[in-house]
Structures are given as structure tokens and as C-alpha cells.
Structure 1
Amino acid sequence: MKNSYFKLPFSFLEEELVNDFKICLENKFTDHFNSSDYEGVWSSISLRSPSGSISDIKAHSNNNFIDTKLLDACSYFKEIIGQFKCEKESIRILNLEPNSKIKEHRDLNLGYEDGVFRIHIPIITNNEVLFFINNKLVKMAVGSCWYGNFNLPHRVENNGATQRVHLVMDCIRNNWSDTLFEKIGYDFSFEKKEPIYDIKTKRKMIEALKLQDNEAAKELITTLQREIATTLKNK
């Protein structure tokens, strides 16, 4: 499928990435709230969150996102974030431990066509990490930078002996990002095709959103429930 994922023209220094990650390790990571979506250990800490707390790892909120005190301590992460000339929402460090996996799922409104796009920058990884987007294996090296359309099915396995740690940013689309995406080959004409989710997928999305317990999630749940009801009525 077009626009499933792209490597972005950024490259970051492994030593500097790891140094800032070590600063993060001085704080407690929070287990991911959606425990049904993974096996093993998947945890996170926030550099930017709805409340400004490092333990607030929600990615959706009606509130404005706030830099945490931890971001102030991580000068290289701050430098990286500044290279993206757009507004940001959630910014987190996500850690998938060895012998752990994130089950296949879809996220809601996380494609470039939705106006919010998610960026992954590997800090620590290994050759036994398998990251699939739309059933395509995406090999992400440390220090590289990737966009993925996470409306599509995706899953991750860490079958190696080391952690799989990524810096993950949710960014707001603007003219700067449109120019960037045009350069990497993003097909803007494809946006005219609305993504279609079946009822089963929408129900899974609703269950995941219920765990977030905030107003934005509740609004999305209402929308999805209404769409399901309409689909069933028209059958």
C-alpha cells in the first residue's frame, strides 16, 4: 500500500541518543496501559505529555501537551525535536524488552492524511527486532528516522537479547512537513481515498480507547459506535 512508511532524511548520533536515554533510566518507566496489546514488558516515559508528568504516557488528549522536566535534562533529544519545524503532541521513550512483542493492531487517526504523524527514532535495537507495518518488515537502524502510517496493521517482536528503545514523536502536519514528505515520495493524491475499517477493527479500537479514559478518547469512541450502528442498520 502506498504511503505505508518512509525513511526520513535525518540521521542522529548513537552515543548521544544513548547518553540521553541513560538520563531517562534514572526515572521510573510506566507499563503501557493497553496490556491486552502486548506480551512481556513494554514500558514508556514521557518527554511531552498532556499533564507535563513523565508517567502520563497517553498519546491522545483534548488538553495542550506540555514538555516534562525530563526533556529539559535531555539536551540531545531536545535538539532532535527542534529539527522538526512543527507543533508536537505526545513525545515518549518506548522500551520493548527482550522476548516481548506488541501484537498486531491499528491506531486511530495516526496517518499523515489525518494531520498527525508519528515519528520513530531507534536508540537501541538489535537484528532480532521485527517491526511490521502492513505486513512489510521495516528494518530501522539506530539513529535513523521513520514515518509509519499506524492506521495500518502493525506489530513488533523483540526476539533479541537487548532492549528495543525508540524515541517516538507525534507531530502536527504543516507546510514544513508537507514539503518534507513531498521530497521523500509521499503520494498526496492517495489521501483522497478514505481509510476503511471493518466492524471488528472498530470494536478493537473502542476497547483500546476505553483504557485511555480521557475526553478525546470518549469522543472517538462515540464516533466509532455511531459508525458501527450505521453500518449494521444499512446491512
Structure 2
Amino acid sequence: MNALKLPFEFDPEIIKKEISQFSKSDYRDIYNSSVTLETLWLKHFIEPINDAYGFPIFYPTDDLKKCPYLLSVFNMFKCRVETFRIHTLDAGAKIQKHRDSGYGFEFGKIRLHIPVYTNDKVEILVNNEAIKMKEGECWYCNFHLEHEVRNNSDEPRMHLILDCIVNDWLTDVFVKGDIKFPVSLNPNP
């Protein structure tokens, strides 16, 4: 399976309103060999703080605390969330074909996308399959597979991205969606 729309819907208009308080200077350029410099931007909303054993626990940043709806989205996920960030792909920009090794359910770590700003001219291809995402939907894609993104529009594409560690709660979301994954894994809770 290349992708799956999860049974969550979020209000993109509230997210747009909350993130409008941040300017482009609040974002940083992502260095990625599959992206042209200064075309993909991110803003992190959680930060790691090590526990007594040196393991990171991810907490909301002060900026996330200024966004009550986004904070409720973060808190809704009953699994370990290691990335909670906004990605903006500029108009006309693209992310070349690549793989994010280990980002698939079967590996115990997944990446979720919640489109905030998108349109029909944005192409997301996973394993050469076009994935049509709408604003406010929540999508799992197996990014361990080869994938690419093309923003063929004249507007920036903006997604909320979460990296989650598979646990019983997340497995249950997939099982209820009748997804056939190797759920015999014993992922870390």
C-alpha cells in the first residue's frame, strides 16, 4: 500500500488563521538534496527535552502554545510524536524522487500529512501513484517507497507533518481502517 486517508478531519481554516501570526522569517529553509535551496520551508512546533535517562520527550514550543487548535491536534495523537511541523513548498517548486528510509508502518515509524494549503495542481506521487489530498484530511504515505512532490501551481503548498512512532493506539487506527499491515510487529509504545 502506497497511501491511506486516515479517519481524521481537521479544520484547515482555523489552522490557517493560527499560523498566520508567523511570518516567513519564522520559518527556515530545509536543506535537502532532493529540493532546490530556498523552496522548501519549515517551522517546528515541538522540541525534544531529554528525560532522566537521556531519552528525548517532545514538548510543545511557545509558538505551538499560541495556537490552541494546533495544540489540540498534537494532543489528539495518542502515540509518540517526534515531529510536528509546517512544511511550505513554494509555488513552482518540486521535491525530486527520493526515499525516506524507515518511514513506513512496517518499520514502526510513520509520517502523516495534513494539507493546510493545497490545490489540484499539486502532485504527490508515491511509488508512481498520484495521491490526491484535500485540505484538512490526514494521510499516511509509505515514504520508505520512492516519492516526489511537484507544486505546479502559483500558490505555496503547506502541510502539517507529523512523524509518529507506531503503538497500539496507532495500530488500532490502521486496523479499523481495514489495512493489512504486519501488525505482529512489536513497535515501541
Report the TM-score when normalising by structure 1. 0.71
Contact 1:113 / 1:191 at 8 angstroms: preserved in 2? Answer: no
Unaligned runs of 5+ in 2: none
Contact 2:41 / 2:88 at 8 angstroms: preserved in 1? Answer: yes
Give 3-state SS (helix, strand or coil) of 1:6's partner. Answer: strand
Contact 1:93 / 1:166 at 8 angstroms: preserved in 2? Answer: yes
**Mean CA deviation greater in 62-71 or 10-19:** 62-71
Unaligned runs of 5+ in 1: 53-61, 193-235
Give 3-state SS (helix, strand or coil) of 1:155's partner. Answer: strand
More strand by share: 2
Give me the whole-angstrom Cα distance separating, in 2, the residues matched to 1:170 and 1:143.
Answer: 17
Where does 1:56-71 land on structure 2 (aligned, <5 Å)? 63-71=56-64
Change (3 A) 1:87 1:63: closer
Give me the whole-angstrom Cα distance separating, in 1, the residues matched to 2:184 and 2:144.
Answer: 13
Cα drift, residue 190 of structure 1: 8.5
Poorly superposed stretches of 4+, deviation over 6 Å: none
- Which residue, 115, 121, 126 being the options, matches 1:122? 115
Cα drift, residue 23 of structure 1: 2.4
- Which residue, 64, 76, 86 being the options, matches 2:69? 76
Give me the whole-angstrom Cα distance separating, in 2, the residues matched to 1:104 and 1:191.
Answer: 30
- Which residue, 124, 134, 145 being the options, matches 2:138? 145
- Which residue, 122, 125, 133 being the options, matches 1:132? 125
> Match of 2:150, as an amino acid?
E
- Which residue, 45, 48, 51 being the options, matches 1:47? 45
| Corresponding residue number in structure 1 for 2:12 | 14
Give me the whole-angstrom Cα distance separating, in 2, the residues matched to 1:159 and 1:103.
Answer: 13
Report Cα offsets for 1:26-84 as digits up to 9, x if no partner: 752111122x21136111010013479xxxxxxxxx74433211111111111112221
Count of residue pairs the alignment pairs up: 180
Change (3 A) 1:18 1:132: same
Give me the whole-angstrom Cα distance separating, in 2, the residues matched to 1:172 and 1:189.
Answer: 15
Cα drift, residue 14 of structure 1: 2.3
Give 3-state SS (helix, strand or coil) of 1:182's partner. Answer: helix
Report Cα offsets for 1:107-139 as digits up to 9, x if no partner: 121111111111100000111100001110001
Structure with max Cα Rg: 1
More helix by share: 1
Change (3 A) 1:115 1:167: same
Change (3 A) 1:46 1:110: same
Report the TM-score when normalising by structure 2. 0.87
Cα drift, residue 188 of structure 1: 2.2
Contact 2:106 / 2:182 at 8 angstroms: preserved in 1? Answer: no
